[in-house]
Amino acid sequence: MRCSPRFLPQRCARIFPQLCYSSISFPEALKRGGAVGRLKLFSTHVLFEEPRRRLEEHFDVEYWRGNERPPRPEVLKRVAGMDALVCLLTEKVDRELLDAAGPKLRIVANVAVGFDNIDVPACTERGIAVTNTPGVLDETTADFTWTLLLGVARRLVEGDRLARSGEWLQWNFDLLCGTDVWGKTLGIIGLGRIGRAVARRAQGFRMPVIYHSRTRASAEIEKELNAEYRTQDEVLLQADFLSLHVPLNEKTRGLIGRAELARMKRTAFLINTTRGPVVQEAALVEALDQGVIAGAALDVFEREPLISDGLRRDNVVLAPHLGSASVETRTRMAMIAVENAIAFFAGQRPPTILNPEVLRRK
């Protein structure tokens, strides 16, 4: 397949003179044996059909096709000499990887909203664009937050296990009684896009919503969500279900520890679909052992994919990081990453670039 004319630097400069940065993107990447060639891209996972087809229209693509995530040495080997990298949050993009990639690497397109796996300043120093996939997974992750919340409240996993075991012999009055969800107080830490989507769903359960966030929402948003701002301590003390929706950074790492869990109701449940290290797992296991809280539902873990044995208990629902795992959403996420890479080499601003200052370099 011939290279798209949009990748020719002459055409790029003519159409996008104010945005063209071909001096950092094109010259050697487009030359193969004296002729115009195709850009090389390494993707650390095979994408779904639509984004894969779109990507292959513009790049010579090399995929990691293993069933497990690629070992670090393999990533360092495969990224060498590539013009672009499409990666998942499981791949650490640091100075070591950038050194292994070499000077041709111009963009890292992360198929995730979070980008704590990428050393953005190191990429910026080298003129490498970094992009993520915000906004696309909010509703799907909010759906899954409620999946976990309902599952732990109504003991769904225990019920499923009993029904499959062949040991369920008869209905009984007090068999696997859980707790009601409707009318209970939902506490949210972090009222960003996902937190707001979770809060909207609470209205169907007639649940009061209280929240704490770094920045208080506008009066209009609070009215729309029927949500009331509280201090973090007040949210911890009053919530029947506490749902976490903060980004992972130095301020939020270990945000929920022994002291915070001790403030929660003994009948309360902790729900985490954000990042594992936001919760101190040793403190959570201790709280569950001592009956400090009623239970938890977790989609992420402190040392993912390792899960503490202390969390493998009936009153904890565990999921292997499935928050955005619908075919529709994962396809949209991959398409955003693909379009970011295509836009960059077309001399356009990638729609979700995290370090736009690299575009201004000559």
Q: Could you write out the DSSP letters of every residue in 98-142?
A: HHHH-TT--EEEESSS--TTB-HHHHHHTT-EEE---STTHHHHH
What amino acid occupies position 266? R
In the set 54, 200, 321, 349, the catalytic residue is 321
**H/E element holding 158?**
helix 156-165
Token couple for 255: 């945000």
Q: Are residues 158 and 295 in the same domain?
A: yes
pLDDT of 5 higher than 50: no
**Quick check: is 321 catalytic?**
yes
Q: What is the pLDDT of residue 178?
A: 97
Share of the chain above pLDDT 70, in %: 90
Q: Do 36 and 30 form a contact (C-beta atoms < 8 A)? A: yes
Closest CA to 243 of 273, 288, 206, 220: 273
- pLDDT given for residue 24 in this prediction: 38
Q: What are phi and psi of 316, to 5 degrees?
A: -130, 125
Provide the whole-model pTM. 0.82
pLDDT (0 to 100) of residue 2:
36
Q: Compare 12 and 215 and report the one with higher pLDDT.
A: 215
Is the domain of 205 the same as that of 167? yes
Which pLDDT does position 38 carry in this prediction?
87
Q: What is the CA radius of gyration of the chain?
A: 24
pLDDT of 18 reads: 33
Least confident interval from 30-39, 48-57, 216-225, 293-302:
30-39
Determine the distance from the C-alpha atom of residue 49 to the mean position of all C-alpha atoms in its chain, rounded to a whole number: 21
String of DSSP letters for 251-294 = TTTT-B-HHHHHHS-TT-EEEE-S-GGGB-HHHHHHHHHTTSSS
Same structural domain, 165 and 80: no
How high is the pLDDT of residue 355? 97
CATH code where residue 265 lies: 3.40.50.720
CA dist 44 and 211 (Å) reads: 37
Question: Rounded mean pLDDT of 247-251?
Answer: 92
Q: Which is it for the CA torsion 39, 44, 50, 52, positive or negative? A: positive
Range of the domain at 86: 5-135+327-360
Same domain? For 131 and 142 the reply is no
- Is 275 part of the annotated catalytic residue set? yes
Instruction: Tell me the pLDDT tens digit for each residue of 8-67.
Output: 333 333 323 333 333 333 433 333 333 336 899 999 999 999 999 999 999 999 999 988
- Can you tell me the distance from the alpha carbon of 57 to that of 351, in angstroms, rounded to the nearest whole number? 19
Residue 184 tokens, joined: 């209970």
Mean pLDDT (the chain, rounded): 90
User: What is the bridge-based pairing of β-strands 241-244 and 129-131?
Assistant: unpaired
- In this predicted structure, what is the pLDDT of residue 14? 33
Q: Which of 38, 106, 196, 275 is the catalytic position?
A: 275
- Considering the domain architecture, whether residues 182 and 311 belong to the same structural domain is answered as yes
Strands (E) in 178-218, as ranges, are: 186-189, 209-212
- With a cut of 60, say whether residue 315 has pLDDT above it: yes
pLDDT at position 361, please?
74
Residues 6+ apart with CB under 8 A from 324: 137, 140, 141, 144, 330, 333
Q: What pLDDT shows up at residue 194? A: 96
Rounded CA gap, 323 and 197, in Å? 13
* Token couple for 194: 């996902």
The reply to whether 202 and 306 lie within a common domain is yes
Residues 152 and 223 in one domain: yes
Are 159 and 225 in the same domain? yes
Give one word for 285, left, alpha or beta, with left for phi > 0 and alpha for psi -120 to 50: alpha
Question: How far, in Å, CA of 131 to CA of 238, rounded?
Answer: 38
Domain shared by 108 and 22, yes or no: yes
pLDDT higher than threshold 90 for residue 349: yes
Q: What is the mean pLDDT of residues 84-92?
A: 96
Same domain, 145 and 293: yes
pLDDT at 37: 63
Q: Mean pLDDT over residues 270-289, rounded?
A: 97
Query: Quick one: 275 and 287 in the same domain?
Result: yes
Catalytic residue among 11, 224, 304, 349: 304
Shared domain check, 160 and 82: no
Assess contact for 302 and 136: CB atoms under 8 A.
Answer: no
Q: What are phi and psi of 107, to 5 degrees?
A: -150, 140
Q: Number of folded domains in the chain?
A: 2
Tokens of 347: 């001399």
How far apart CA 255 and CA 250 sit, in angstroms, is 9
pLDDT digits 0-9 by tens, 134-175: 989 999 999 999 999 999 999 999 999 999 999 999 999 999
